[in-house]
Amino acid sequence: MVLDNLGSSLRGTLSKLQGKSRLDEDDVEEVVKEIQRSLLQADVDVDLVMELSDAIETRALEEEPPGGTSARDHVLKIVYEELVDLIGDSTEIPLEPQTILLAGLQGSGKTTSAAKMAWWFSKKGLRPAVIQTDTFRPGAYEQAEQMSDRAEVEFYGDPDSDDPVEIAREGLEATSDADVHIVDTAGRHALEDDLIDEIEEIDSTVDPDRSLLVLDAAIGQGAKDQAQQFDDSIGIDGVVITKLDGTAKGGGALTAVNETNSSIAFLGTGETVQDIERFEPNGFISRLLGMGDLKQLSERVERAMAETGDEEDDWEPQDIMEGSFTLKDMQKQMEAMNNMGPLDQVMDMIPGMGGGLMDQLPDDAMDVTQDRMRTFDVAMDSMTEDELENPRTIGQERVERIARGAGVDEESIRELLEQHKMMERTIKQFQGMGDGDMQRMMKKMQQGDGGGGGGMGGMGGMGPFG
């Protein structure tokens, strides 16, 4: 995730403050130096780094921690507030008819972002359309058409035309029934005069309600000049940061936001059209510091359960809490988890399970877990309906038959059955809980993160693949 190294190093530094009730100058200096080092390594502009670190240092030394607040929690609160202030509010994107113009260099992810944003608007109840005006890059039309098809949104482009301004004009007319028009423009490998001239003409023709600059999260110090030139030409209202699923540093994008006096609108977190998030500064920084993001998590859960339920009408997730927990239920739960997106992103959103805990896991831990989920899924596809509904009927002979049919080893089948038993026991514990018990447990989970990933302590095997 963007600035992930900052989150990791900060958590390590803050954990050293555990148990202290007051801070001395050496403590504050160590935290501030760690922040400076991490931000500079992430390509954040030097002036921004100094401004942020000075504010944190001043507040940490001058403000008294509230009664009952540890030194670590007090500094964490200051760092959180100052980082949120640095990033600023999210770009205003009203859910109403509008035209959005996308700008950016070639390879920044504009075409993918156009389809992702269109998908996002469609899920909010609006009818979007993508208009592809890039006549410069080979394959741009085909890519945009395919991405729009995956997003199940209206698309307009003209592969035979070499006039992007005319395509934009005709595209608005052809998609006049759409509520939201997203105009994708051409990029270049560098800021060139013909690129600027072209986008200024398109801007004049479509008269967008807002113009968004699309930036690859890996962009470095060059973001400053790029952002300024686009801002001078068409005016930048917000930034879309793409490719956050990799190892990108992300600091350049924050510099661009500051340089254009704008804000972040969307985050692109993967390759599919669903891998997009509306930027929420509080949740974003909360995840960065290992504090979770329950709002984003609940949105993903709601979407995933809806998609899973749509695929099989006779499966209702709430039935699990009322009756027996079968292998079929387990398979549907796995499918819902898969619909939520990459497991490491989901873990980051759970208070006490992202952050420090993730730092302690091997780099490939989430990949191994998802591989295991896929193995379990293949195994369950090789079972009969009776076996899925009554897993206790599966003895050694059936284990051998299922393993052969699924092309996996017998040990994987036994692991699956054992995992089902663990989940079944956990579900039975939940079935006996009242609302008060559930609330107390959730509160304990949220408070459990002592900086070293201790929030897992109360979870004891509750996760589907813990």
Report pLDDT for 119.
Answer: 96
Check pLDDT > 60 for residue 461. Answer: no
| 426 has binding-site annotation | no
Per the DSSP assignment, residues forming a β-bridge with 351 are: none
* Window from 202-211, 237-246, 318-327, 362-371 with minimum mean pLDDT: 362-371
Report pLDDT for 445.
Answer: 44
Percentage of the chain modeled with pLDDT above 70: 67
- Quick one: 70 exposed, middle or buried, by C-beta within 10 A (0-12, 13-18, 19+)? middle
Fold (CATH) for 2-89+292-302: Four Helix Bundle (Hemerythrin (Met), subunit A) (1.20.120)
Average pLDDT rounded to a whole number, residues 263-290: 80
| 187 has binding-site annotation | yes
Token code pair at residue 10: 């900060």
Report pLDDT for 398.
Answer: 94
Q: Which residues of 312-343 are buried (b: 16+ CB within 10 A; e: fewer)?
A: eeebeeeebeeeebbbbbbbbbbbbbbbbbbb
Verdict on whether the full-model pTM lies above 0.75: no
Report pLDDT for 466.
Answer: 41
Tell me the domain boundaries of the chain.
2-89+292-302, 98-279, 317-340+367-430
**Which position has the token pair 């699923």?**
245
Average pLDDT rounded to a whole number, residues 443-461: 39
Check pLDDT > 80 for residue 107. Answer: yes
Percentage of the chain modeled with pLDDT above 90: 29
Average pLDDT rounded to a whole number, residues 384-402: 91
Give how far Cα 154 sits from Cα of 88, 132, 146, 245, Å: 33, 11, 11, 27
| 107 has binding-site annotation | yes
Average pLDDT rounded to a whole number, residues 386-392: 89
Q: What angle do CA 122, 146, 201 make, to 5 degrees?
A: 80
| 106 has binding-site annotation | yes
Report pLDDT for 454.
Answer: 35
- Confidence label for 25 from pLDDT (cuts 50, 70 and 90): confident
Residue 250 main-chain phi, psi, to 5 deg: 90, -10
CATH number of 98-279: 3.40.50.300
* 335 vs 229, higher pLDDT: 229
| 458 has binding-site annotation | no
| 99 has binding-site annotation | no
Q: How far apart are CA 217 and CA 275, in angstroms?
A: 15
Give how far Cα 4 sits from Cα of 7, 220, 253, 287, 371, Å: 5, 15, 14, 9, 24
| 245 has binding-site annotation | yes
Average pLDDT rounded to a whole number, residues 148-154: 96
Highest mean pLDDT among 109-118, 272-281, 374-383 belongs to 109-118
Q: How far apart are CA 410 and CA 328, in angstroms?
A: 20
Could you tell me if 83 and 29 are in contact, meaning their C-beta atoms sit under 8 angstroms apart?
no
Average pLDDT rounded to a whole number, residues 328-336: 74
Q: What is the mean pLDDT of the chain?
A: 76
| 186 has binding-site annotation | yes
Report pLDDT for 447.
Answer: 46
Could you tell me if 279 and 90 are in contact, meaning their C-beta atoms sit under 8 angstroms apart?
yes
| 111 has binding-site annotation | yes
| 263 has binding-site annotation | no
| 109 has binding-site annotation | yes
Q: How far apart are CA 43 and CA 62, in angstroms?
A: 29
Check pLDDT > 50 for residue 456. Answer: no
| 425 has binding-site annotation | no
Tens digits of residue pLDDT in 73-100 = 788 788 888 888 877 788 899 999 999 9
- Confidence label for 147 from pLDDT (cuts 50, 70 and 90): very high
* 1 vs 335, higher pLDDT: 335
Check pLDDT > 60 for residue 424. Answer: yes
| 188 has binding-site annotation | yes
Q: How far apart are CA 48 and CA 45, in angstroms?
A: 5
Q: How far apart are CA 38 and CA 48, in angstroms?
A: 13
| 243 has binding-site annotation | yes
* 134 vs 270, higher pLDDT: 134
Report pLDDT for 242.
Answer: 87
Average pLDDT rounded to a whole number, residues 348-356: 48
CB atoms within 10 A of CB 434: 8
Report pLDDT for 120.
Answer: 95
Report pLDDT for 404.
Answer: 92
Residue 90 main-chain phi, psi, to 5 deg: -75, 150
Q: How far apart are CA 16 and CA 6, in angstroms?
A: 16
Q: What is the signed CA dihedral for 20, 21, 22, 26, rounded to 10 degrees? A: 10
Could you tell me if 267 and 145 are in contact, meaning their C-beta atoms sit under 8 angstroms apart?
no
Highest mean pLDDT among 4-8, 281-285, 387-391, 398-402 belongs to 398-402
C-alpha 110 chain-centroid distance: 18
Helix, coil or strand: residue 193: helix
Answer left, alpha or beta for residue 410, where phi above 0 means left and psi between -120 and 50 means alpha.
alpha
Tens digits of residue pLDDT in 26-66 = 888 888 888 788 777 777 778 888 888 899 889 888 888 77
Please report the DSSP string for 100-114 in residue order. EEEE--TTSSHHHHH
Check pLDDT > 70 for residue 311. Answer: no
The verdict on domain 317-340+367-430 having CATH code 1.10.260.30 is yes
- Confidence label for 357 from pLDDT (cuts 50, 70 and 90): very low
Report pLDDT for 343.
Answer: 54
| 185 has binding-site annotation | yes
Report pLDDT for 10.
Answer: 67
